[in-house]
Chain A
């Protein structure tokens, strides 16, 4: 009896071992299929011309032949990872149409690479999922109010390109309090979104200056805003661009007048990111975005770029009218296509960020000739 039991156990153990090795070997294709399914699910239905292969073959990784640029041309669409819930930067309206500052830069890339600003598949991503999507090849470019940091450039396998928006963390207080510096908030309770770099910056800045404080963290803005408005916390910290939007919405709803402190205590350069290891694709995306800044500097807008009749050699190079091609893998007239269909940087900014209360003039996002940081390398 005992011996039979032992023999049985041995057989079962063998079976188990065989099963497990087989199963672990299977896991890679299984998870890949899962990832592809999600990308197919999140793709809006109106870009129905995607070929079947995207669903079955593994994602295109940089080391594959031809790189991402060739894969994008084959597909006829740029897969762009975006935010779909941030007013001004990326939001979906009731018709399922994407709009916003970041969304327009996806269109800029599509116009530059494919000549068609609508050849974009928008992939809405959460903050946690964005780098996994980029690493796994689910998206070609990530334009989702993402701060360029060393860790993300290194560990997360992303290559950051020219910053499209210079943001920074600020502090908002009710105007009636008269507080103007962080020191005025010693010992105060401060509202902050949970688990963000904002929370870490807040701790770092207050600790560095030796100001005691008490953070009030909430997982989302729906409960954070009432906590702030009821006065449970005396200050609210977030990126200035977001605080501006909240200030506008509180004041519009008839709430107290708000004041955003002049001091900005962190650097948040938001820009596009592409996967590491494909410089041809990185350059194509980078120069498409730089074209909007260069056009602004030249004074070219979506209205007048098509009818330029001057003879500035720099502008003629930029427009590609004389067939000038710097070898970036882009059409000679890509800049014309971009600016005509989407607009120059100023137009994109005024279209999406001015309505939420952000000023272009005098901000770091102004052109370098006006004292800002927007500076495109010469196109020649």
Chain B
């Protein structure tokens, strides 16, 4: 009974505090004759977004929010990929018998773990782009594709051009078919696994599912008469922008790259700790079976280490996503930068911040959800 009262009291306190905060806002807003509504989402954005020539300033503010969400998502995805791969390599490297590899990995971890992420981003932007070795776009380095007239890469201090995909008419349909192909190959994977479990015949599931994927994709590509073609990067006539290809700007690379490098140091420590947490007997058993180093990690140590590593790795993924808000310092057009610009241009601050919070909350919940599913799959099933 006492416990119930305690919990109710806590609930009431939370409610009162929240109510007070909202009441405060409403009272002060009405005193200043300002309403609390979200109608501003439908008025024109009025400013041009950097490296988004297709964005028209007359589009409503909610479209600007979508651009911001997209850019935050891209930076977070790229950053998480870099941090994950690099962190895994360095984490294993720290435990290596190779003196140089171990020391280099330790130095990397100590360096990146001990600088603030904002400093890393600004340093990256200054060292690689602003004062870096790359020329201005008009004198950009164009790396040709050997044997053809196409350009593979355009490198400058403002943006890089990489090959992209161009829609020749049927791309959306092809996208749907690509999803079908992925689903089909996943189904085949499951089927082969079952076959293997039931009859013991070799599953060859990688070959099977890749084969299905390739057959469906190639079939769709041929039937739809080449729905997408590779869009090689090329500079415009006046050499001031990319006329074609996929543009990656310096802000994106500074944010995603610096955060990836920074977070990799944390990931490496988590990986190292998780590997050390796997009982030594497992390694000895693997050695007794004469497994190679790679086999020992791939089949014995890492599957068990990952079980320990996943929950703290979720935290790192969330941190990296939230740290993309530091892009304000280098002017990358992600959601925080755009929200600040928008507030500076007269959009209501409180409402804009509420939307900003909801966006980050959405990202965090999504990442937690995905990684929690992975976590559940990896957990030991005990009877």
A residues within 8 Å of B by Cβ? Answer: 5, 8-9, 12, 15-16, 19-20, 23-24, 27-28, 31, 128, 135, 151, 186-189, 194-197, 199-200, 202-204, 206-207, 212-219, 223, 226-227, 230-234
Q: List 24 A-B contacts (CB under 8 A).
A: A16-B12, A16-B15, A20-B20, A20-B23, A27-B23, A27-B27, A128-B344, A189-B158, A194-B340, A195-B341, A199-B345, A203-B47, A207-B48, A212-B53, A213-B48, A215-B47, A216-B158, A217-B341, A218-B331, A223-B122, A223-B329, A226-B126, A230-B130, A230-B131
Determine the chain A residues whose CB is within 8 A of the CB of B57 once the complex forms.
203, 207
A135–B34 Cα gap in the complex (Å)? 13
Q: Are B27 and A24 in contact (CB under 8 A)?
A: yes
Determine the chain B residues whose CB is within 8 A of the CB of A216 once the complex forms.
50, 158, 331
Q: Are A219 and B329 in contact (CB under 8 A)?
A: yes
> Given the known A-B contacts A19-B16, A187-B241, A232-B158, are A28 and B31 also in contact in the complex, defined by CB atoms under 8 Å?
yes
Q: B238 at interface (Cβ–Cβ under 8 A)?
A: yes
Determine the chain B residues whose CB is within 8 A of the CB of A230 once the complex forms.
129-131, 157
From A8, A20, A128, A186, give the contact of B238 (CB < 8 A): A186
Report the minimal beta-carbon distance from B23 to chain A, rounded to whole angstroms: 4
Q: For residue B27, which residue of chain A has the nearest CB? A: A27
Q: B240 at interface (Cβ–Cβ under 8 A)?
A: yes
Seed contacts A214-B50, A232-B130; 18 additional CB < 8 Å A-B pairs? A16-B12, A16-B19, A19-B16, A23-B20, A24-B20, A27-B27, A31-B28, A187-B240, A194-B344, A195-B340, A195-B342, A197-B345, A199-B47, A199-B344, A206-B48, A216-B50, A218-B331, A226-B126
Q: B8 at interface (Cβ–Cβ under 8 A)?
A: yes
> Given the known A-B contacts A28-B27, A200-B47, A214-B53, are A195 and B12 also in contact in the complex, defined by CB atoms under 8 Å?
no
Q: Are A24 and B130 in contact (CB under 8 A)?
A: no
Determine the chain A residues whose CB is within 8 A of the CB of B345 once the complex forms.
195, 197, 199-200
Q: Are A199 and B27 in contact (CB under 8 A)?
A: no
What is the 8 Å Cβ interface bit string for chain B, positions 338-370, against chain A (1 contact, 0 not)?
A: 001111111000000000000000000000000
Q: Are A231 and B157 in contact (CB under 8 A)?
A: yes
B residues within 8 Å of A by Cβ? Answer: 4-5, 8-9, 12, 15-16, 19-20, 23-24, 27-28, 31-32, 46-51, 53, 57, 122, 126, 129-131, 136-137, 157-158, 236, 238, 240-241, 250, 328-331, 333, 337, 340-346
Report the minimal beta-carbon distance from B289 to chain A, rounded to whole angstroms: 57
Q: Are B240 and A188 in contact (CB under 8 A)?
A: yes
Report the minimal beta-carbon distance from A321 to chain B, rounded to whole angstroms: 47
A302–B129 Cα gap in the complex (Å)? 53
Q: For residue B17, which residue of chain A has the nearest CB? A: A23
- What's the A-B contact tally at a CB cutoff of 8 Å? 126
A148–B344 Cα gap in the complex (Å)? 17
Determine the chain A residues whose CB is within 8 A of the CB of B48 once the complex forms.
202-203, 206-207, 213-215
From B32, B157, B240, B331, give the contact of A194 (CB < 8 A): B331
Q: Are A187 and B238 in contact (CB under 8 A)?
A: yes
> Given the known A-B contacts A12-B9, A203-B48, are A226 and B23 also in contact in the complex, defined by CB atoms under 8 Å?
no
Determine the chain A residues whose CB is within 8 A of the CB of B5 once the complex forms.
8
Determine the chain B residues whose CB is within 8 A of the CB of A194 once the complex forms.
331, 337, 340-341, 344
Q: For residue B250, which residue of chain A has the nearest CB? A: A232
Q: Are B331 and A8 in contact (CB under 8 A)?
A: no
Determine the chain B residues whose CB is within 8 A of the CB of A203 once the complex forms.
46-48, 57
Q: Are B19 and A20 in contact (CB under 8 A)?
A: yes
Q: Are A219 and B31 in contact (CB under 8 A)?
A: no
Report the minimal beta-carbon distance from B315 to chain A, rounded to whole angstroms: 28
From A219, A223, A226, give the contact of B131 (CB < 8 A): A226
Determine the chain A residues whose CB is within 8 A of the CB of B19 once the complex forms.
16, 20, 23
> Given the known A-B contacts A23-B16, A214-B50, are A135 and B238 also in contact in the complex, defined by CB atoms under 8 Å?
no
Q: Are A227 and B130 in contact (CB under 8 A)?
A: yes
Determine the chain B residues whose CB is within 8 A of the CB of A135 once the complex forms.
32
Q: For residue B58, which residue of chain A has the nearest CB? A: A207
A288–B16 Cα gap in the complex (Å)? 52
Report the minimal beta-carbon distance from B349 to chain A, rounded to whole angstroms: 8
A207–B47 Cα gap in the complex (Å)? 10
> Given the known A-B contacts A20-B19, A135-B32, A227-B130, are A9 and B136 also in contact in the complex, defined by CB atoms under 8 Å?
no
Which residue among A28, A196, A215 has the maximum number of chain B CB atoms within 10 Å of its CB? Answer: A215
A15–B122 Cα gap in the complex (Å)? 52
Report the minimal beta-carbon distance from B48 to chain A, rounded to whole angstroms: 5
Q: For residue B240, which residue of chain A has the nearest CB? A: A187
Determine the chain B residues whose CB is within 8 A of the CB of A202 once the complex forms.
48
Q: Are A27 and B28 in contact (CB under 8 A)?
A: yes
Determine the chain A residues whose CB is within 8 A of the CB of B16 once the complex forms.
16, 19-20, 23
Q: For residue A4, which residue of chain B has the nearest CB? A: B1
Q: For residue B346, which residue of chain A has the nearest CB? A: A151
A207–B122 Cα gap in the complex (Å)? 31
A232–B23 Cα gap in the complex (Å)? 47
Determine the chain B residues whose CB is within 8 A of the CB of A199 once the complex forms.
47, 341, 344-345
Report the minimal beta-carbon distance from A81 to chain B, rounded to whole angstroms: 18
Q: For residue A207, which residue of chain B has the nearest CB? A: B57
Q: Are A214 and B241 in contact (CB under 8 A)?
A: yes
Q: For residue B122, which residue of chain A has the nearest CB? A: A223
From B46, B250, B340, give the contact of A219 (CB < 8 A): B340
A234–B156 Cα gap in the complex (Å)? 14
Determine the chain A residues whose CB is within 8 A of the CB of B341 once the complex forms.
194-195, 199, 217
Q: Are A196 and B241 in contact (CB under 8 A)?
A: no
A234–B306 Cα gap in the complex (Å)? 49
Q: For residue A1, which residue of chain B has the nearest CB? A: B1
